[in-house]
Structure 1
Amino acid sequence: MDKKNKITFFSHSLVWLVLFSIPYILSYGQEQNINRVIAHFWIPVLFYAVIFYTNYFVLIDKYLFKKETLLFILINALIIAVCITAKEQIEGNVFADLSIPKNSDGNGPPLKMMIYVQMFSYLAPLLFSIAVKTTKRWVKAETERKEAANFKLQSELQHLHYQLQPHFFFNSLNNIYAMVDISPEKAKTSIHSLSKLMRYMLYETNVEEVSLTKEIEFMSKYIELMKLRVSEKTIVNYSFPKDGSSIKIAPLLFISLIENAFKHGVSASQDSTIDITMTLEDNKVMFITKNNNFPKNTQDKSGSGIGLQNLEKRLQLLYAGKYKFNTKVENEYFNVNLELETV
């Protein structure tokens, strides 16, 4: 018996134990007629248990949940009729000495009224079993739905993660390729730096969250790699918190924004500036990039164009309701603001 079944067993046992104890609890300190307690309380409770568990374990699953409602009602009507008849027989034969209270005119309660009252009392365990079973089924269905949604979420995140790696690698190789003829030494250094970055992406980011400090270290190395490619016409400024070890964050969230800044913020003929800033405020991470806006034409193949789309999908999946993300062009500068709540 697993833990869940043990809890169910003990909870049901406790309920029935309380029910069987009620006559003693209500009449504590008073003289009790044990035969009357058995006849008018224990025996009905036993029949209630029969109705409850017959429905709970058999009838509800077999008939009610399979839309055979009429058959379900007929079977329960038969069970209730059998229980009422059996109870009357037991009381009449075993507890015949227990007289039914008389009215002032000497007559007992009408037979039909007694039967109706008993029928309604026997409907209680039936309705209760339906309510418990339906609730249990709903909880199970909701749990399965959440598990399916979580599996879908993890699958989609994994897909986006795998999509990001070749995209990043593709952009980095393009940058190194552009340096091969101009500066072979820089290209050589860049390949070495890229190998370190790829090692991090391949072996340390296959988790739900990483330390912000590691992400900052990764981004700093990537920016230094990108600075090797740009000319003196481009000024690159970046600022990161010195310590982010206390904050956990989804890996590789900001790299697309940095890639985008270098892709669209650098010109071969004009001066340009790229500013990258990250600040912390309690459990919030604010990330801002600002760069000159040099939109690439459709023939430019320096990137696959999936970076920001990938980022927005990941934000929706991982930080729904906990992030603010906006981009705008202002005074010939492209501005990106991303704010995340990490708890």
Structure 2
Amino acid sequence: MRQLAPNLFDVNNRVYAHLLFWVAYYFYRVYIYIEYYEYSPITQFVELPVKVAVVYVHMYFLMPKLLSHRKYFYYGLGLICLVLAATVLQSEVIRAMIASGIYQFNSDLLYAPRKFSATASHITMILFVTSAIKILKGQYLQQQKLQQVEQQRLRNELTFLKTQINPHFFFNTLNNLYSLVLNKSDKAADAILKLSSLMEYVIYESDKKKVSLQSEVEHLQDYVELEKLRFGTELKLEMVLPDDVDGYDIPPMLLIPLVENCFKHGKPDKNGLFTINIEATIKGKHLCFSTYNTKVSHPIERGKPTSHYGVGLQNVMRRIELIYGKRANFKLKELPESFSLTVQLPLEDQRKEVPVEA
């Protein structure tokens, strides 16, 4: 009883939905016959238990035990027997009401073909309506369940992708720091400071659904500065970022792996120059982010996917697909000596308009 009591007072309890249906049905029947029969409120109330019984026998016995198990012959036979039994029982209830004087009808005609078939047809109709409601509700609940399962699968996949990106990023960054320490560079301390900031961002911010675009851009700059320390004069870098990024939100660790891909897989061209271009612009409520890097020349086989980018970029592409769907655009272009990508993402504008003083 302790477990059932809370459900009884739950507004979502299906008992209330069933009661509402039968109350609505009762008043509908009274409304139809009240001008013809003075005692319609009483007669409809007396007839109701038979209809309720036949509906629930059909709904909770014939349908789950026979129809759901594809025992169509036995289901059809059981349905016919149920309708006939209900019609006979309903006719006898009417006979009792005729005897009491609240129902005006010739009792000798209760089993006449016209009256009997009319009663059977009405019982069949209410079985059809209630069965349709149950089937539609079942399909809706099943669809909701499938959607929940799919959403949970996507959430799990998204979480997995994020865990793949972060260790991948740290591994490459620590390698950068190791190179500086190994060479006893005076820039190692600055690199450690920037790495500390990046680690704090990844640990405390990457689990959030959204972070400010400002924060993502600032840590992207830290990462680029860290890479510049490692490559020194061998690197030709051009980076153009928008000045006004305050007020926009973006998923964390979405832009940094795109730039990381340039440094990890990019190589100097045939002239020995390692070129990387990074550009971000805000157009309307969309962020357009593009990168370009030189690489070792190799032949490209037609019809085959880009071969030189790794797990970081693949995971980011998958994350973008899961988060934005068709609202985002992702384009890759590989030439023998260069690789470029462009991604366009919708931005959530969190800025509030401030009224201008007169």
Normalised TM-score (structure 1): 0.82
Show CA shifts across 1:4-30 (max 9, x none): 6546444433333233223554577x6
In the alignment, the residues of structure 1 paired with residue 104 and residue 336 of structure 2 have an alpha-carbon distance, to the nearest angstrom, of 98
- Give yes or no for the alignment of 1:13 onto 2:33: no
Show CA shifts across 1:91-123 (max 9, x none): 22331455548xxxxx97981232222222111
Secondary structure (helix, strand or coil) at the match of 1:229 reads: helix
Residue 309 of structure 1: aligned partner: 314
On the 8 A contact 1:179/1:229 being kept in 2, the answer is yes
On the 8 A contact 2:297/2:337 being kept in 1, the answer is no
In the alignment, the residues of structure 1 paired with residue 208 and residue 165 of structure 2 have an alpha-carbon distance, to the nearest angstrom, of 15
Q: What displacement does 1:44 show? A: 4.0
- Give yes or no for the alignment of 1:87 onto 2:93: no
- Give yes or no for the alignment of 1:113 onto 2:119: no
What letter corresponds to residue 159 of structure 1 in structure 2? F
Show CA shifts across 1:241-292 (max 9, x none): 334343322221122221122234453973343221112223211101123x
Q: What displacement does 1:159 show? A: 1.5
Residue 300 of structure 1: aligned partner: none
Mark the runs of 5 or more structure 1 residues left unpaired by the alignment.
102-106, 298-302
In the alignment, the residues of structure 1 paired with residue 81 and residue 209 of structure 2 have an alpha-carbon distance, to the nearest angstrom, of 57
On the 8 A contact 1:239/1:278 being kept in 2, the answer is yes
In the alignment, the residues of structure 2 paired with residue 262 and residue 238 of structure 1 have an alpha-carbon distance, to the nearest angstrom, of 13
- Give yes or no for the alignment of 1:50 onto 2:67: no
Distance 1:176 1:267, change over 3 A: farther
In the alignment, the residues of structure 2 paired with residue 53 and residue 127 of structure 1 have an alpha-carbon distance, to the nearest angstrom, of 12
2:286 counterpart (274, 284, 287): 284
What letter corresponds to residue 180 of structure 1 in structure 2? V
Percent of pairs with identical residues: 26
Distance 1:275 1:168, change over 3 A: same
What letter corresponds to residue 284 of structure 1 in structure 2? H
What letter corresponds to residue 86 of structure 1 in structure 2? L
User: Which shifted more, 2-11 or 68-77?
Assistant: 2-11
Q: What displacement does 1:183 show? A: 4.3
- Give yes or no for the alignment of 1:162 onto 2:168: no
What letter corresponds to residue 277 of structure 1 in structure 2? E
User: Which shifted more, 318-327 or 71-80?
Assistant: 71-80
Residue 336 of structure 1: aligned partner: 341
What letter corresponds to residue 280 of structure 1 in structure 2? I
On the 8 A contact 2:30/2:41 being kept in 1, the answer is no
Secondary structure (helix, strand or coil) at the match of 1:228 reads: helix
Mark the runs of 5 or more structure 2 residues left unpaired by the alignment.
1-5, 299-307, 349-358
What letter corresponds to residue 134 of structure 2 in structure 1? K
What letter corresponds to residue 79 of structure 1 in structure 2? L
Residue 147 of structure 1: aligned partner: 148
Q: What displacement does 1:154 show? A: 1.6
Normalised TM-score (structure 2): 0.79
What letter corresponds to residue 17 of structure 1 in structure 2? V
Show CA shifts across 1:180-228 (max 9, x none): 3434322333233212212211221112222222211211111111111
On the 8 A contact 1:279/1:286 being kept in 2, the answer is yes
What letter corresponds to residue 19 of structure 1 in structure 2? Y
User: Which shifted more, 44-53 or 117-126?
Assistant: 44-53
